[in-house]
């Protein structure tokens, strides 16, 4: 049995997210599984590093699958890309050990949330930005972000979802990068809860707009109450940038 | 009579180019004129700095119009943007003297042609790139490009079009910028013939691929024969970056 890992990019605008669900066929996972099943002549299940929301994007999603069929990585890359629409693409293929699992083996994920901080529209890359024209106090946002670093219970920053257990996660870094009207919030951690990055960034944006003091992040974490945190920002600004595994450090 | 100049951006993918033509309604000019006519309560004719081809993009197109109505530039910007689809936007509005004419007053234009020089697809900004995986000799392309600088008859680099007079144009600069798989060819001149940038870049690409020697640009210019030049590259890689007027230098 071979185990292949795909590095994927997609513009999520016209898809219902990563994960196949009930009668929704228009998912990234669904599109890829159909193609892989055809190419491998057997039913393929593709394991993503995690779900990405409807409308969210990826520059470095990872997903693996097992197959009896043996592929040269470059051949697999070319054949899959030939069958994909332009807004989904395989940018790398690697051969992994049998136990490698794109979700369970993941050690670290990096997301970027992009805000277009201007009254003028972002025409040429607007698909990747949430437009918010109110002036932002970036240093207040950085102060607030610092309070999220480390291990915390992020229940206040998680959309309710039955069946989820621990809401404890570790954030390694949050960097806020401003270049003219482009504000990018980079969040790196060991894993993220449902809509956590969008709620976290929504709350940071409210700090930046002066609607909340930076210090209020501490009691907000302690409250463990979603309704006290900021808004869930739209998926269009969210991009999964990188997923890291132990073997990346070899 | 007021004379307003709009700075426009658009992703041209789903439009039939800048210019209104016969029964084609799906043009950038057409979309804007409809909106301006509504807003100004009188028929508006919008004068672009020049046509852009179907599928080509703009980061800095300029267009002016005359109206009886008086606008605050910011109000006009907001009102037009509110009515435009997401892939067209006004990024600046200026008040001009009565004689200003976006086409006749233009002194200099800069286009950028983007090539994605890789076998791996460009998923996230593929709308702005022409994918060409063959390895490129950039220094040969630069040598060839140098032969186009200055005033020349560019008839060999112009798609046949009845009614056009002089095919003499001046190119001020051609810069080729390579960052990993991204190759950007920047062309600055006093004006360009129909499809000239796409043919010029198609020819340079053939030099880069070793299909033509750099020195052959000189006899090619002298031949004044379109059929001897390279292919017309697809419009998707082409973007009008900037149009300059004398008043820019004030």
pLDDT, tens digit, 9 for 90 and up, residues B141-193: 999 999 999 999 999 999 876 666 899 999 999 999 999 999 999 999 999 99
Specify the pLDDT at position A196.
96
CB-based contact B91 A125, cutoff 8 Å: no
Specify the pLDDT at position A160.
75
Which residue among the candidates B16, B41, B53, B177 is catalytic per the annotation? B53
Q: Which residues contact B169 (CB under 8 A, 6 or more apart)?
A: B151, B152, B154, B189, B190, B191, B192, B193, B196
Specify the pLDDT at position B215.
96
A177 is catalytic: no
Which 118-157 residues of chain A touch chain B by CB within 8 A? Answer: 119-126, 128
The interface predicted TM-score (ipTM) is 0.88
Q: What is the pLDDT of residues B182-230, one digit of tens each?
A: 999 999 999 999 999 999 999 999 999 999 999 999 999 999 999 999 9
Mutation test of the interface with chain B: which of A90, A120, A130, A237, choosing the one with the most B Cβ atoms within 10 A? A120
State the burial class of residue B15 (Cβ atoms within 10 Å of its Cβ: 0-12, 13-18, 19+): buried
Six-digit token pair at B191? 């004006």
| B74, containing H or E segment | helix B73-83
Among residues A103, A248, A64, the alpha carbon closest in space to that of A190 is found at: A103
- CB distance from B92 to chain A under 8 Å? yes
Six-digit token pair at A136? 């932002």
Whole-number Å distance between alpha carbons of B58 and A25: 35
Among residues A33, A35, A120, A196, the alpha carbon closest in space to that of B84 is found at: A120
Specify the pLDDT at position B164.
63
Q: Tell me what percent of the residues of chain B surpass a pLDDT of 90.
A: 92
Nearest CA-CA distance, residue B90 and chain A, Å? 7
CA-to-CA separations, A189 to A151, A224, B26, B162, in angstroms, rounded: 9, 19, 46, 62
Nearest CA-CA distance, residue A154 and chain B, Å? 31
- CB distance from A76 to chain B under 8 Å? no
Specify the pLDDT at position B250.
42
Nearest CA-CA distance, residue B219 and chain A, Å? 39
Nearest to B124 among A59, A121, A122 (CB): A59
Whole-number Å distance between alpha carbons of B5 and B36: 12
Residues of chain A under the 50 pLDDT cut: 249-250
Whole-structure pTM value: 0.92
Which residue among the candidates A53, A87, A137, A177 is catalytic per the annotation? A53
Q: What is the pLDDT of residues A143-193, one digit of tens each?
A: 999 999 999 999 999 987 666 689 999 999 999 999 999 999 999 999 999
Which 209-248 residues of chain B touch chain A by CB within 8 A? Answer: none
Nearest CA-CA distance, residue A86 and chain B, Å? 6
CB-based contact A91 B123, cutoff 8 Å: yes
**DSSP code per residue over A77-126:** HHHHHHHS-TTEEEEEEEEE-TT--TTTTEEEEEEEEEEE-SSS---SSG
Cα atoms found within 13 Å of the Cα of residue B62, Cβ hemisphere only: 24
Q: What is the pLDDT of residues B26-60, one digit of tens each?
A: 999 999 999 999 999 999 999 999 999 999 999 99
Mutation test of the interface with chain A: which of B120, B180, B238, choosing the one with the most A Cβ atoms within 10 A? B120
């Amino acid at each position: 049995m071979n185990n292949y890992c795909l590095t994927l990019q997609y513009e999520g605008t016209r898809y219902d997210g990563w994960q196949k669900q009930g009668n929704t066929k228009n998912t990234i996972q669904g599109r890829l599984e159909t193609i892989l099943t055809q190419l491998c002549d057997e039913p393929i299940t593709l394991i993503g590093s995690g779900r990405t929301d409807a409308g969210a994007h990826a520059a470095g999603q990872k997903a693996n699958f097992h197959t009896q069929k043996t592929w040269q990585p470059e051949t697999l890359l070319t054949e899959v890309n030939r069958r994909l629409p332009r807004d989904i693409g395989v940018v790398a293929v690697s051969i992994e050990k049998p136990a490698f699992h794109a979700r369970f083996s993941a050690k670290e994920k990096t997301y970027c949330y992009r805000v277009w901080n201007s009254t003028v529209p972002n025409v040429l890359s607007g698909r990747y930005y949430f437009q918010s024209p109110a002036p932002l106090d970036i240093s207040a946002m950085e102060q607030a972000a610092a309070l999220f670093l480390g291990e915390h219970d992020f229940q206040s920053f998680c959309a309710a979802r039955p069946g989820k257990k621990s809401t404890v996660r570790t954030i390694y870094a949050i960097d806020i990068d401003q270049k003219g009207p482009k504000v990018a919030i980079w969040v790196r951690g060991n894993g993220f809860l449902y809509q956590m990055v969008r709620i976290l960034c929504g709350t940071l944006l409210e700090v930046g707009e002066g609607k909340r003091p930076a210090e209020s992040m501490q009691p907000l974490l302690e409250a463990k109450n979603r309704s006290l945190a900021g808004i869930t920002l739209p998926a269009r600004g969210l991009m999964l940038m990188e997923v890291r595994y132990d073997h990346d450090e070899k």
